A and B are shown apart, each in its own frame.
Chain A
């Protein structure tokens, strides 16, 4: 066996072992504590879990590529809110009145375009100024959220288009529309990361930036593309969710960036960049959603849920550190 195989297997497998442990725990605990008649592993409950994972999960795929590249994006929650407003508001614009339901793809397109544009702005600033992405997106998080409030004050923006709602609530092969989007995005980003030049270079830049530069890789454009991708995905997440709900509050999407980062880090992606896997991020997203759902299932309130997730995040990262140390020692021998 090659050195490091064991520890990398443990690390890859860890998130799935964790998910399995959650399922067992909540199933057993649910028998005693749950007020609900249904078991936790009920099929409808699990399908719902996937659907509820979608908003965070879709963005988490973009965050994985951003973090592997060595950056971070804190503005995704604000981009999510802006895109939602663009979607719902543009459905009602008089210019598009003649289109009938033809307005739907137009509104989707506008919302996605907004996401891409805002992401591109982040990327451009990071590229051209050389300021750390954490600072840049911290600023744009505040700025973009400001735009949300400027648009409609404290008022929610609402519009229900029933064709859209039907589409968003549809199930195909048993899975909800948003689940399909999550799976599609996961597959697409997996291919991007593992099979394309862009993905390869993103890993290289995150792992050793100066070696990447010395190999003739242009760092800036790759970073910018990644910020456009995550902007697109934040908008896609909003489009999928608000097509169904039809109403967006100016506070919506707040703290999404932190949930997304939690899921990505739980999946084993390094904050320092250069390492991370889309499949594990998918695991991280499911693990968090399971935890939220499971704790609610056994009667815990929201505050408890957040406390537990916080503790688990720290415990997982500590374990990861121990495994890494082990892996390194294995190498030295």
Chain B
């Protein structure tokens, strides 16, 4: 390979943000016709690197070459014009428009007087679709296509320019196994045309199936490139994790109480299947897995936001049906949701009102809200959780992420729940507040709460959990105790290897 010119080459890319060196000298290249995996944990710098490649960020140092030509990209459009094309995890299609219109959105072929040249549009589109060997045509409404086919439309859109390098970002996150086969076919087709492909994924299985080389990022720096054929999962995992993490493993041991919540064979349509676990008072049960593994959906079921299609939920040993959040709250189940601003807080309300929102009906003096009692509750939990705010009148929207999260946690603690579910406890929260929230979760367990923590960050899940449930595409692969779990076992379990292989 070395005698040929790479399709895309990165040389010493550095990108800093105030206080963070997000990328610290990243160099690697992608050959024409090669599938090159880019791996790294969340926060390793993959997305920053992609934004640099896509022209959204400018590198502080380093150069990018497309073929032999140094490329400076100042906008996504410019990146595309230079032949660097992205297939994003999240689709951005206009559902009401046809496939052809989506593919050429913004650059529809025109006739005189600015009229759209429909004939040419259809013909060009069908030519691209033929290359992808898909089962729909230019006139199909995008909203009528499956997710996998919509992704094909995204890929087709990428192919309207002469692509030098195509970057796939977690392309299989929402695909079924059959759909993956089609996607891999398309990737093979691109390979055959001499396009260089960067393939970002956490899924070892896929990486080892379709890639030629693997480059690994860790904490913003480049950790090396290996040939896929000459390595194995363990070595790659080692590269990704590297030195032992600073975060100490949770070592506070305390007596566990009774089983507060037990779930038996719970399923929900195609979101998750046959899930069973239990959590005791005084225990933190961690749920680890990739985005889309079904963890949040299980939490939503326990909180009454989704109806399960099969299975049982037992609270304190009693079979329970939870039909609404109101019912869940009455049963002592609380949820700190993943999307704090969208689902956890009423940003336009003050801190006190947010804190007492679920119980304000119980804080009444006659027809009116007993505001004194509310202030008392707020003060108590402000002190206990060390919430930094000028006063209860401050709007929740004006607080920092960490303090907002504490308000949400305080909201539920003041209701003295039996089970506290925390989904992505520290998403979008600065490092200092992160460890405060981690300590808080440990303390709550020590005080006898049954806590479920869902997280996509491995250090976090290892730090706070007594036991860890590893999930992969809607199924529990394995449950680890804190003593037996290791980073590589955990990574392998959530990457879709069969339970036997993991053990």
Contact = CB atoms under 8 A, between A and B. Distances in A.
B357 interface: yes
A214 B398 contact: no
Interface string B381-422: 000000000110111011000000000000100000000000
Contacts of B349: 203-204, 207
Interface string A257-298: 000000000000000001100000000000000000000000
B113 interface: no
B335 interface: yes
B241 to A, nearest CB: 35
A326 interface: no
B347 A208 contact: yes
A213 B325 CA distance: 7
A191 B357 contact: no
A215 B357 contact: yes
A197 B395 contact: no
B329 A4 contact: no
Interface residues of A, number: 25
A214 B339 CA distance: 12
B360 interface: yes
Interface string A189-213: 0010001110011011001101111
A200 B361 CA distance: 10
A55 to B, nearest CB: 28
Contact of B357 (A195, A217, A218, A331): A217
A100 interface: no
Contacts of B395: 4
Nearest to A3: B398
Contacts of A212: 346, 357
A214 B341 CA distance: 12
B343 A210 contact: yes
Contacts of A197: 360-361, 364, 369
A275 B368 contact: no
Given A213-B325, A215-B357, A195 B368 contact: yes
Contacts of A218: 324, 326
A214 B325 contact: yes
B19 interface: no
Interface string A209-228: 01111111110000000000
A204 B346 contact: yes
Interface in A209-254: 210-218
User: In this complex, which of A210, A214, A331 has the most chain B Cβ atoms within 10 angstroms of its Cβ?
Assistant: A214
Contacts of B369: 195-197, 200
Nearest to A218: B326
Contacts of B303: 214
User: In this complex, which of B348, B394, B411 has the most chain A Cβ atoms within 10 angstroms of its Cβ?
Assistant: B348
What band does the interface of chain B fall in when counting residues whose beta carbon is under 8 Å from A?
35 or more
A129 interface: no
B384 to A, nearest CB: 20
A214 B353 contact: no
Interface string A312-333: 0000000000000000000100
B328 interface: yes
Contacts of A215: 325, 329, 357-358, 411
B337 interface: yes
Say whether chain A's binding surface is mostly helix, strand, loop, or mixed: helix
A269 to B, nearest CB: 12
A155 interface: no
B432 interface: no
A207 B393 contact: no
A200 B328 contact: no
B344 interface: yes
A200 B337 contact: no
A117 B349 CA distance: 32
Contacts of A214: 303, 305, 325, 335, 337, 343-344
A200 B368 contact: no
Contacts of A207: 346-349
Interface in B262-280: none
Contacts of B367: 195-196
Contacts of A274: 346, 348
A118 to B, nearest CB: 25
Contacts of A217: 326, 357-358
Contacts of A191: 368
User: In this complex, which of A3, A210, A274, A331 has the most chain B Cβ atoms within 10 angstroms of its Cβ?
Assistant: A210
Contacts of B411: 215
Nearest to A273: B348
B342 A208 contact: yes
Nearest to B327: A216
Nearest to B411: A215
Contacts of B346: 203-204, 207-208, 211-212, 274
Nearest to B365: A195
Contacts of B326: 216-218
A203 B353 CA distance: 10
Contact of A196 (B330, B358, B368): B368
Contacts of A216: 324-326, 328-330, 358
Interface string A107-144: 00000000000000000000000000000000000000
A211 B341 CA distance: 8
B371 to A, nearest CB: 8
Given A207-B348, A215-B325, A217-B326, A200 B353 contact: yes
B393 A2 contact: yes
A235 B3 CA distance: 86
B345 interface: yes
A220 to B, nearest CB: 11
A75 B90 CA distance: 41
B155 to A, nearest CB: 33
A147 B361 CA distance: 39
Interface string B157-184: 0000000000000000000000000000
A204 B348 CA distance: 8
B243 to A, nearest CB: 37
Contacts of B329: 215-216
Interface string A1-22: 0111000000000000000000
Contacts of B390: 2
B344 to A, nearest CB: 6
B342 A201 contact: no
20 contacts: A2-B391, A2-B394, A4-B395, A195-B368, A197-B361, A197-B364, A200-B353, A200-B369, A203-B349, A207-B348, A208-B342, A211-B344, A211-B346, A213-B325, A214-B303, A216-B326, A216-B328, A217-B326, A218-B326, A275-B348
Interface of A: 2-4, 191, 195-197, 200-201, 203-204, 207-208, 210-218, 274-275, 331
Interface of B: 303, 305, 324-326, 328-330, 335, 337, 342-349, 353, 357-358, 360-361, 364, 367-369, 390-391, 393-395, 397-398, 411
Closest 4 CB pairs of A and B: A216-B326, A216-B329, A215-B357, A215-B358
Given A2-B390, A214-B325, A214-B337, 5 more contacts: A191-B368, A197-B364, A204-B349, A213-B305, A274-B348
